[in-house]
């Protein structure tokens, strides 16, 4: 059982819709991450939150808007997405953003399809 | 520019034998290395890691070896089991600069599909 929970598991949306992906962890981790994974490719980092503050944005288009309301929750707000944004979106967390050598633990992802 | 490479897209092994998955990296700043296993429709599961101050780390059937001079790491699974069949990703990070812009950023290889036959 994964300790990082992502909802929904699947999402189909039109290009004009607004939706949100949610991620929750109760391990007391203070770093949280969003990754995007296309078919047969490795995960690619999108955003990093350290102690609820955005610390890394990998030049992600503004149609993706992350939010970290508290230390356990991470959201990814979606608006005006393009068909090429269809992918598996993975959330991960790690214990302490200022201590190295710590693994990131992943959720099972949200499979997003843009019509 | 692929900084982490897994040159074997797939590997097929008989049950009970050793599986050896390889990974090469080019960024000399990487100092922490991880292996993840991924089943279809699931997220990557952390398997084992190694920091650059070590050359070997063992956890049950899984052993990771690091050769810093060759910028090469490998994952050994002994004995291999059919349930080990999955995609294996190696990943690396530069954790030398706490709070820096690259801190905590994992760079993944392309993955190797391991199939263990009964």
Q: Is A93 on the interface with B (CB under 8 A)?
A: no
Read off the pLDDT of each residue in A13-25 and give the average, rounded to a whole number: 94
Closest to A97 (Cβ–Cβ): which among B43, B101, B104? B104
Residues in B closer than 8 angstroms to A42, CB to CB, are 89, 108-111
Most confident residue range from A50-59, A71-80, A98-107: A71-80
Average pLDDT over residues B83-100: 85
pLDDT higher than threshold 70 for residue B97? no
pLDDT bin (cut points 50, 70, 90) of residue B103 is low
Q: What is the mean pLDDT of residues B93-118?
A: 82
Strands B62-67 and B56-59: antiparallel
Q: Does A6 or A55 have the greater pLDDT score?
A: A6
Beta strands at B62-67 and B72-77: parallel, antiparallel or unpaired: antiparallel
Q: Could you give the C-alpha distances from A98 to A30, A49, A90, B29, in angstroms and in order?
A: 9, 12, 22, 17
| Cis-peptide into B79, omega within 30 deg | yes
How far does B99 lie from chain A, in Å, by closest CA? 6
What's the pLDDT score for residue A96? 82
The pLDDT value recorded for residue B101 is 56
CB atoms A107 and B34 under 8 Å: no
Name the band, by pLDDT with cuts 50, 70 and 90, for residue A101. confident
B64 touches chain A (CB under 8 A): no
Distance from CA of A85 to the nearest CA of B (A): 18
C-alpha dihedral, B109 to B66 to B33 to A29, nearest 10°:
150
Tokens matching residue A47? 């955003």
| B99 contacts chain A (CB < 8 A) | yes
pLDDT tier, A100 (very low <50, low <70, confident <90, very high otherwise) = confident
């Amino acid at each position: 059982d994964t300790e990082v929970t992502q909802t929904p598991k699947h999402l189909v949306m039109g290009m004009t819709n607004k939706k949100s992906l949610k991620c929750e962890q109760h391990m007391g981790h203070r770093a949280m991450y969003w990754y995007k994974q296309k078919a047969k490719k490795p995960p690619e980092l999108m955003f990093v939150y350290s102690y609820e503050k955005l610390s890394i944005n990998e030049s992600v288009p503004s149609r993706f808007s992350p939010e970290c309301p508290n230390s356990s929750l991470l959201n990814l707000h979606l608006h005006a997405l393009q068909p090429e944004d269809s992918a598996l979106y993975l959330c991960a967390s790690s214990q302490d953003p200022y201590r190295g050598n710590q693994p990131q633990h992943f959720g099972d992802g949200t499979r997003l399809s843009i019509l | 520019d692929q900084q982490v490479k897994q040159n074997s897209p797939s590997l097929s092994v008989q049950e009970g034998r050793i599986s050896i998955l390889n990974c090469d990296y080019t960024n000399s700043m990487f100092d922490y290395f991880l292996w993840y296993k991924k089943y279809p429709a699931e997220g990557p599961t952390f398997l084992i890691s190694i920091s650059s101050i070590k050359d070997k780390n063992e956890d049950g059937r899984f052993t990771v070896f690091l050769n810093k001079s060759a910028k090469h790491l490998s994952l050994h699974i002994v004995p291999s089991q059919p349930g080990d069949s999955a995609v294996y990703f190696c990943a690396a990070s530069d954790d030398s600069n706490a709070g820096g812009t690259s801190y905590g950023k994992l760079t993944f290889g392309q993955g190797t599909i391991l199939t263990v036959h009964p």
